[in-house]
Amino acid sequence: MPAEAELICRLKQTYGPMLQSVSLSFDDLIQTAKEKSREKKLAGLDANVYLSLAQTNPKVQAELDWKIGEGVREQDFRRWWDMPDLERQLLVLMDFIGNAGYFGALRDKGFSAEEALRLVNQASPSYVEFSDMSKLPKNADFPLPIELRERVERRVEQERAKDPSGGQWTAYRNQFSSVNALVRHEIAAGRL
């Protein structure tokens, strides 16, 4: 079985069941992820290539500096960028689908777009893969570097395991304007 076919089989086993709850076919999602990968031309970009680019491209270096300043560690960086691009694109799409689904459900319940967006941001982190450093707002709600995704997901799973009802985590999370603000707080405090 070719490498891409093996990867797709593994991804389907891992993520396919999650997609059933939002009535999407895994094959459609994989097709979209492939298109995104082709559009972004990231298939050959791994951690070493990215780091090499940073040495010769000031924009890439500024982006890397921002990510490190946001708390991205080398292991976070390597874990994300050494993942096959198809898998990276699939994870980004699944995050988007989850957030868009929640937003739509809130709108259906009568929430304004602004209030629905606030609730989505308070319930779920948002990430950015690349960013124009000159346009970064200076607030805690701005999307997190995508390289933090797995570390944040692990922390959320740990909190769920400690309190299956989710009440304590939700109460703590609601003290912040967004999950991103909470993550930045936890990183600054050395707990994440």
Mean pLDDT of 54-67: 91
Distance CA 64, CA 70 (A): 10
Number of H helices, E strands in the chain: 10, 2
Tokens of 10: 């593994």
Distance CA 126, CA 145 (A): 9
| b/e code 50-89 from CB counts within 10 Å (16+ = b) | bbeebeeeeebebbbeebeebbbeeebbbebbebbbbbbb
What pLDDT score does 79 carry? 95
CA torsion sign, 158 to 162 to 164 to 170? negative
What pLDDT score does 113 carry? 86
Distance CA 21, CA 29 (A): 14
Look at residue 18 and tell me whether its pLDDT is greater than 50.
Answer: no
What pLDDT score does 29 carry? 80
Percent of the chain with pLDDT over 90: 41
Q: What is the pTM of this model?
A: 0.81
